[in-house]
Amino acid sequence: MVSLIDNEGYLRVDPTLLKLVKLLLLTLIFVSVSFAAVSSRLFSVIRFESIIHEFDPWFNFRATKHLVNTSFYEFLNWFDDKTWYPLGRVTGGTLYPGLMVTSSVIYHILKFVGLPVDIRNICVLLAPAFSSITSVAMYLLTLEVTSTTPTLKHKKTAALFSAFLMGITPGYISRSVAGSYDNEAIAITLLLVTFFLWVKSVNTGSIFYGALTAMFYFYMVSAWGGYVFITNIIPLHVFILLLMGRFDYKIYTSYCTWYALGTLMSMQIPFVGFLPIRSNDHMAAFGVFGLLQLVLLVSYLKDTLSPTKFVRLMFAFSAVVATVGISGLVLATKMGWIAPWTGRFYSLWDTNYAKVHIPIIASVSEHQPTPWSSFFFDLNFMIWLFPVGVYFCFQELSNPAVFVIVYSVLGSYFAGVMVRLMLTLAPIVCVCAGITLGRLFNIYLDVKDELSSWWNNKESQDSLFTLLSKMVVSATFVFYLVFYVQHCTWVTSNAYSSPSVVLASRNPDGSQLLIDDYREAYYWLRMNTPEDAKVMAWWDYGYQIGGMADRTTFVDNNTWNNTHIATVGRAMATSEDKAEVIMRQLDVDYVLVIFGGLIGYSGDDINKFLWMVRISEGIWPEEISERNYFTDRGAYRVDDLATDAMKNSLMYKLSFYRFGDAYNGLDPVDRVRQQKLSSSYAKSITLDVMEEAFTSENWIVRIYKLKNRDNFGRDLIDIGKKDRKQQSKRTKRMLSRKKPTLDLRV
Amino acid sequence: MRFASLLLSIGLLIPACLGVRYETLTSKYKKNILKITDANYQNLLNNEDFDIVLYLTASSPQVGCVLCNEFQPVFEQLAASFYENLETHGLGSDDTKLIFAYSDFPDSRKLFQQLALNNVPKVYYYNAQQGIGLKPSDEFMFMSTDLLSTLTSWLVAKTHLSPELFNLRTKVNYTELLLTFCIVFGLGVTIILNYKRVLAIITNKRGWQALSILLVILFTSGYMFNLIRNTQYIRTNKDGSNIYFIGGHQAQLGVETQIISVIYGLFCAGMVILVDLFKKFDNAKLRLFSSVGLSIGLFVLYSILVTCFHAKNTGYPYWLLKF
């Protein structure tokens, strides 16, 4: 009998059926959350196509292809001679292999099952797939926090809300849309799973969960450099618990298990190596590990010794520990075994440090601080539910609640300092917002009592009033939730779904226009240049050239060698004759520049030019000076009034060479800088050591070939000058009258 | 012929005599940075005896020159270190004749006019050998982010003096050291004496709660952005009205953080009351009024927040209530 009506008139249902219904509902909710999470990340695939985005993902894609085609050990030993020419890069030892290994495992499993899926599609869709796992992990984390904190009732509601909020929050979507095949795509999932297991192991004190935490920590270390966040937040949590006098064997067991196993395992990643025992990032974890042993010893002694003896021993003991500790630290730093005070340490606390001392960090916009509007943009109404959640966590300070508080404060500090750390803040915001919403809806949506009392006693105004007030509050918050969905969809669709390899624009009539210059040019490189051709471009495009054109590059987004980058910057910033020497020394075949002046694409090389100048000025201050590229009045000009250094620089010439031809004798206009060049001046921009090899449809990518040395050993620039002189006045006049038909590819 | 050359040499000598001698100056302005005003600039800048490094600034708050105020201590410290290196450490030779001077806009309007300045700060270098007049021999470019080192290297290049002369000397400020020590000592004593009271404050949950929420609200309303970027507090239009929000996610004013943090604080208070409401009020009517009132309040607050966001992101399509 599944259900029956008992003699009191209540409907009695079989408990297993109730459980089944509950399970069904839960599954349904998760399916819908996953569906929402995955589908909102597919904007770019639908609008453009299944394509890898931006810059870094192209390297990850290329590395994944290498891994799929070779074995794992070969991948770890990979020495890549197609980048950082002529130095090469020890790629296997300088990357986090987690992402590539994950997708290659998926690839092989699917192949084994009999579903051969193209590796590119796996890479493109990896991030959305992991986002649905993230929301499950989010559910587990919130459930673990709320179910062990008695005042945070209504645990499942809160957990489900946080899962839903996490699924579509733009703060997380920004790094996990389809095609953004980057480390963060799987790292956030791992971060949440690690935190869930950590909270679980503190609650249970089991070695099993501690070891599982270490396992997932290891996976996280193998996937993303941001693992340092975990390395610091767990010790901080334990440290604060110790200060609160919460020491117990559960904490001891879980922390020691995690630290010992996690550290040993993380050292197996070649790129991490001995960092966990050397660098300052890991010192906190080590310190807390030592502290826990001391606390354990002290609590043991306290139980066995008499109070007076204990106090005496304590004084002696603490003096010894302090002297040994401090002198050991000083000695180790002096001997160079550990480096607690490196540049990165300063850049987190004194954020101006990086700006002054490391121009290459300052040139990356991801390292900028975060204004309030970005928080609202990425988190919508959760940003004001967030502090409320922190407030509720304080009502009963259980160990998991302390974890949430520590994470909230620290996470919001880091997110405030650096835009890209919004990613690590988003999960805890979802937890807090989920707790708040769960609590609110549990109070205000629960109208069972009011309905029944109103039903039984129609006269009672009290229950009607209560009912009404509950409905008003619930309605507003349901509206906020709907608004949240709208906001997230809009943000995702407008801000985070552009692959930046293909650009979208609008025709005058409003129809969509796709600008596909990058791929056109890279494809040209792939098909028309020798396989061992070396292409010089600014480092932003290194990964794309490697990934799409499969040609050797000099510098790329890895930026491990500042001098090499500065050399390329110097070649771009100096005059043609000096640049020729550098390029011959580097063995350059082609030079690729990005030029947006014709269609108004602002992310081009002329706008990035100042960084090239700045970075090379850092190495050759006597040769290159940033000031020379500004006019006397401090303006950055590219037209007739540009400074000589600007006009003579290789980058300028490569960008504006034959620019006048596109305008058929009219004055050409640079649509990015909004400056007009006179047509006669535009014609006077000449190139002697290079020749134009390819210019894409909208002139965004321009590729030049370095001319071979003259057979008679003459200087190429002299030849060019002589040639121009020999054009007699008559031919010049002829030329100007005749207006030859231009072979422009428009 | 001889007469003519005599005349010529006298003519050359006169301006030199008119100018101030290096020795008289240094005895007067020992270890101090020389201030140039409208009263003395003619004499000082028209000399052939010593080189001058002149820092032109506008330090008054009305002008609001951030870079000037940032650079002033750097320049002063360098000047002080230079004089100290010269005198006490005997690093320079006898013919090292370099004067550090500065000139502030309100005191030397005439000079600024004659130099035809339209922006400050500027650092000019006047070489004694290179003719007479107000035209500087060289100008320092404020381009780099590390101003001190670039200024030092620029000075070394211009003056051909040994770089050691420009090494910074930091003075040990003993009074400050003593004061810090006293404060630390006093604090330590008070803590030990009032051990129980201090412990009560430290272990107070409410205090930590307030602190955490405050920190979270501050960080999420862009406080760190202001701190790192040294943002302006408020911006004023030409007609005198204030701008409270500037567009774009790249910029922010100090007042924005204040407004937004107040809004978040109100949100937080409202939400806490709303959630705990049902425990507090027994009367159903009171409950209705307060919950409906709070809902409306939160809605209005949210609309204000969205309106503020519109000021930052003009393309945002959603509104709650338009203000």
- Give me the residues of A, 374-413, that contact B with CB < 8 A: 374-377, 381, 383-388, 390-392, 394, 397, 405, 408-409, 412-413
CA A67 to chain B, closest CA, distance in angstroms equals 39
Same structural domain, A721 and A586: yes
Same structural domain, A430 and A524: no
B126-151: burial string, b at 16+ Cβ within 10 Å, e else: bebeeeeeeebeeebbbebeebeebb
Asked which of B141, B166, B191 is the last residue of a domain, the reply is B166
Instruction: State the total domains in chain A.
Output: 2
- Is residue B160 one of the residues assigned to a domain? yes
| CB-based contact B224 A408, cutoff 8 Å | no
| CB-based contact A417 B228, cutoff 8 Å | yes
Same structural domain, B158 and B234: no
- Judged by a CB distance cut-off of 8 A, whether residue A463 touches chain B is yes
Which residue(s) pair with A690 in the sheet? A706
CA B294 to chain A, closest CA, distance in angstroms equals 9
Same structural domain, A411 and A544: no
Same structural domain, B96 and B214: no
Q: Which of B143, B144, B225 sits opposite A369 (nearest CB)?
A: B225
The ipTM, to two decimals, is 0.85
Helix (H) or strand (E) holding A189: helix A183-204
User: What pLDDT, on a 0 to 100 scale, did the predictor assign at position A365?
Assistant: 58
- Judged by a CB distance cut-off of 8 A, whether residue A417 touches chain B is yes
Cβ(B284)–Cβ(A462) below 8 Å: yes
- C-beta atoms surrounding A190 within 10 Å: 27
User: What pLDDT, on a 0 to 100 scale, did the predictor assign at position B29?
Assistant: 57
DSSP one-letter code for A703: E
Tokens of A656: 């504006």
Reduced to 3 DSSP states, what percent helix, strand and coil does chain B have, rounded to the nearest 5?
55, 10, 35
| A352: nearest Cα among B146, B232, B149, B234 | B146
* pLDDT above 60 for A349: no
* pLDDT above 80 for B191: yes
* pLDDT above 50 for A736: yes
| B277: nearest Cα among A470, A597, A360 | A470
* pLDDT above 90 for A366: no
For chain B, the farthest-separated pair of C-alpha atoms sits apart, in whole angstroms, at 116
Provide mean pLDDT across the span A106-123: 94
Same structural domain, B24 and B82: yes
Residue with tokens 């796996």: A122
Provide mean pLDDT across the span A621-647: 85
Same structural domain, B21 and B150: yes
More confident position, B32 or A319: A319
* pLDDT above 60 for B257: yes
Same structural domain, A546 and A401: no
Cβ(A233)–Cβ(A406) below 8 Å: yes
Give the domain extent around B88.
12-166
Q: Rounded to whole angstroms, how far apart are CA atoms B281 and B219?
A: 34
Cβ(B126)–Cβ(B45) below 8 Å: yes
DSSP one-letter code for A95: S
Same structural domain, B21 and B160: yes
Confidence at B297, pLDDT banded by 50, 70, 90: very high
| CB-based contact B215 A383, cutoff 8 Å | no
- Is residue B151 one of the residues assigned to a domain? yes
- Is residue B26 one of the residues assigned to a domain? yes
Cβ(A626)–Cβ(A610) below 8 Å: yes
Confidence at B261, pLDDT banded by 50, 70, 90: very high
Tokens of A494: 């407008």
Same structural domain, B83 and B210: no
Tokens of A552: 């050797």
A728: alpha, beta or left, given left = phi > 0 and alpha = psi -120 to 50?
beta
User: What pLDDT, on a 0 to 100 scale, did the predictor assign at position A700?
Assistant: 92
Q: Which of A390, A469, A486 sits opposite B216 (nearest CB)?
A: A390
Same structural domain, B114 and B239: no
Contacts of A149 (CB under 8 A, 6+ apart): A393, A396, A398, A400, A401
Tokens of B147: 């101003």
Same structural domain, B135 and B38: yes
- Judged by a CB distance cut-off of 8 A, whether residue A300 touches chain B is no
User: What pLDDT, on a 0 to 100 scale, did the predictor assign at position A399?
Assistant: 93
Q: Rounded to whole angstroms, how far apart are CA atoms A246 and A398?
A: 10
Same structural domain, A533 and A620: yes
CATH number, domain containing residue A722: 3.40.50.12610
| B96: nearest Cα among B106, B87, B105 | B87
Same structural domain, A550 and A429: no
Tokens of B96: 């090292």
Q: Rounded to whole angstroms, how far apart are CA atoms B27 and B158?
A: 25
Q: Is A737 exposed, middle or buried (0-12, 13-18, 19+ CB in 10 A)?
A: exposed
Between A240-244, A622-626, B143-147, B165-169, the lowest mean confidence (pLDDT) is in B143-147
**Strand order across the B138-140 sheet:** B34-35, B98-104, B51-57, B122-126, B138-140
- Is residue B178 one of the residues assigned to a domain? no
Reduced to 3 DSSP states, what percent helix, strand and coil does chain A have, rounded to the nearest 5?
65, 5, 30
A687: alpha, beta or left, given left = phi > 0 and alpha = psi -120 to 50?
beta
Tokens of B243: 């701008």
Give the domain extent around A583.
513-738
Confidence at A153, pLDDT banded by 50, 70, 90: low
DSSP one-letter code for A575: B
- Is residue A285 one of the residues assigned to a domain? no
Q: Rounded to whole angstroms, how far apart are CA atoms A118 and A115?
A: 10
Q: Which of A462, A470, A487 sits opposite B318 (nearest CB)?
A: A487
User: What pLDDT, on a 0 to 100 scale, did the predictor assign at position A745?
Assistant: 56
User: What pLDDT, on a 0 to 100 scale, did the predictor assign at position B130?
Assistant: 66
| B128: nearest Cα among B98, B86, B94, B83 | B98
Q: Rounded to whole angstroms, how far apart are CA atoms A152 and A438?
A: 9
* pLDDT above 60 for B248: yes
- Is residue A481 one of the residues assigned to a domain? no
Asked which of A410, A438, A466 is the last residue of a domain, the reply is A438
Identify the residue among A246, A379, A454, A469 best suited for mutation to test binding to B, counting B beta carbons within 10 A and taking the highest: A469
- Is residue A218 one of the residues assigned to a domain? yes
Tokens of B293: 């009132």
- A587 alpha carbon, distance to own chain's centre: 34
* pLDDT above 60 for A328: yes
Q: Rounded to whole angstroms, how far apart are CA atoms A611 and A625?
A: 12
- Is residue B24 one of the residues assigned to a domain? yes
Residue with tokens 């050292």: A267
Same structural domain, B118 and B225: no
Q: Rounded to whole angstroms, how far apart are CA atoms A401 and B208?
A: 13
Tell me which chain A residue has its CA closest to the CA of residue B256: A372
| A473: nearest Cα among B300, B265, B296, B286 | B296
Cβ(A172)–Cβ(A134) below 8 Å: yes
Between A144-158, A248-262, B39-53, B87-101, the lowest mean confidence (pLDDT) is in B87-101
Identify the residue among A365, A384, A485, A627 best suited for mutation to test binding to B, counting B beta carbons within 10 A and taking the highest: A384
Q: How far is CA A386 from CA A20, A395, A433, in A?
A: 34, 15, 5
For chain A, the farthest-separated pair of C-alpha atoms sits apart, in whole angstroms, at 116
- How many H helices and E strands in chain B? 12, 7
Q: Rounded to whole angstroms, how far apart are CA atoms A123 and A117?
A: 10
Instruction: State the total domains in chain B.
Output: 2
CATH number, domain containing residue B90: 3.40.30.10
Residue B321: half-sphere exposure toward Cβ, Cα within 13 Å: 11
Confidence at A595, pLDDT banded by 50, 70, 90: very high
Same structural domain, A434 and A547: no
* pLDDT above 60 for A351: no
- Is residue B102 one of the residues assigned to a domain? yes
Asked which of A438, A473, A493 is the last residue of a domain, the reply is A438
Asked which of A409, A438, A467 is the last residue of a domain, the reply is A438
B184-207: burial string, b at 16+ Cβ within 10 Å, e else: eeeeeeeeeeeeeeeeeeeeeeee
- Is residue A293 one of the residues assigned to a domain? no
- C-beta atoms surrounding A172 within 10 Å: 30
User: In one letter, which amino acid is A609?
Assistant: F
- Is residue A406 one of the residues assigned to a domain? yes
State pLDDT tens for residues A527-545.
Answer: 999 999 999 999 889 999 9
- Judged by a CB distance cut-off of 8 A, whether residue A439 touches chain B is yes
Same structural domain, A424 and A525: no
Looking at A610-651, which runs of residues are DSSP E strands?
A: none
- Is residue A5 one of the residues assigned to a domain? no
Tokens of A308: 């007076």
Q: Rounded to whole angstroms, how far apart are CA atoms A657 and A638?
A: 12
Helix (H) or strand (E) holding A591: strand A590-594
More confident position, B8 or B271: B271
State pLDDT tens for residues A469-507.
Answer: 889 999 999 999 999 999 999 999 988 888 888 888 888
Q: Rounded to whole angstroms, how far apart are CA atoms A488 and A475?
A: 20
Q: Rounded to whole angstroms, how far apart are CA atoms A276 and A290?
A: 15
- Is residue A495 one of the residues assigned to a domain? no
Q: Rounded to whole angstroms, how far apart are CA atoms A226 and A187?
A: 8
Same structural domain, A236 and A128: yes
Tell me which chain A residue has its CA closest to the CA of residue B221: A372
* pLDDT above 70 for A266: yes
More confident position, B212 or A1: B212
- Is residue B323 one of the residues assigned to a domain? no
State pLDDT tens for residues A156-188.
Answer: 889 999 999 999 999 999 989 999 999 999 999
- Is residue A482 one of the residues assigned to a domain? no
Tokens of A340: 């607690």
- Is residue B34 one of the residues assigned to a domain? yes
Same structural domain, A536 and A432: no
- C-beta atoms surrounding A376 within 10 Å: 24
